[in-house]
Amino acid sequence: MASIKQFQVTFDCAEPERVARFWCEVLGYVVPSPPKGFDTWDDYNRSLPPADRDAWFACADPSGVGPRLFFQRVPEGKTVKNRLHLGVRVGTGLVGEERLAVLEAECARLVALGAVRLRLLLADEDNESCLVMQDVEGNEFCLD
């Protein structure tokens, strides 16, 4: 019998802390405490060799249920559509105009944080409506 494993979702990005803090706001996640012996993440960062500073950042679900999100700096920029994206479930159980109103309200909140609205996909026979968006570095995600 297979055991359940914990996992994290890793993002390649140019500015790990900026993207991590965006996702903290989106999901209600928190930045973990800095490593032992450091009062702040800035203190920890300054202790690293220059090439390793700002190389990664992480955030976690304060309830411990959701996966850890890890953001790592990579030299190349994003060039194509994501092969994997997050679906942020804000309209679960809602349909029609009520669902659209909740999606639009959350979209407005996230746009104020730096997200970009791409398109609204209206409900069909198989799926409810959802909004396709991009985070602060252009990674696609859905509000559904």
Question: What is this structure's pTM?
Answer: 0.89
- Please give the full DSSP string across 87-105, using - where no structure is assigned: EE-SSTT--HHHHHHHHHH
Structure letter (DSSP) for residue 5: -
| Nearest-angstrom CA–CA distance, 69 and 67 | 6
Tens of pLDDT, residue by residue over 52-100, are 999 999 999 999 999 999 999 998 888 888 878 899 999 999 999 999 9
- Indicate if the pLDDT at residue 7 is higher than 80: yes
Could you give the 3-state DSSP secondary structure of residue 69? strand
Sign of the alpha-carbon torsion through 18, 24, 30, 3: negative
> CB-hemisphere CA count at 13 Å for 92?
4
CA-based nearest residue to 25, from 137, 135, 140: 135
What residue segments make up the domains of the chain, in order of their start?
8-73, 86-143
Tens of pLDDT, residue by residue over 102-140, are 999 999 999 999 999 999 999 898 889 999 999 999 999
- pLDDT reported for residue 1: 66
- pLDDT reported for residue 73: 94
Could you give the 3-state DSSP secondary structure of residue 73? strand
Query: Is residue 67 a contact partner of residue 4, using CB atoms and an 8 Å limit?
Result: no
Q: Distances from the Cα of 43 to the Cαs of 40, 57, 117, 123, in angstroms?
A: 5, 14, 36, 49
Query: Is residue 21 a contact partner of residue 31, using CB atoms and an 8 Å limit?
Result: yes
| Nearest-angstrom CA–CA distance, 113 and 108 | 9
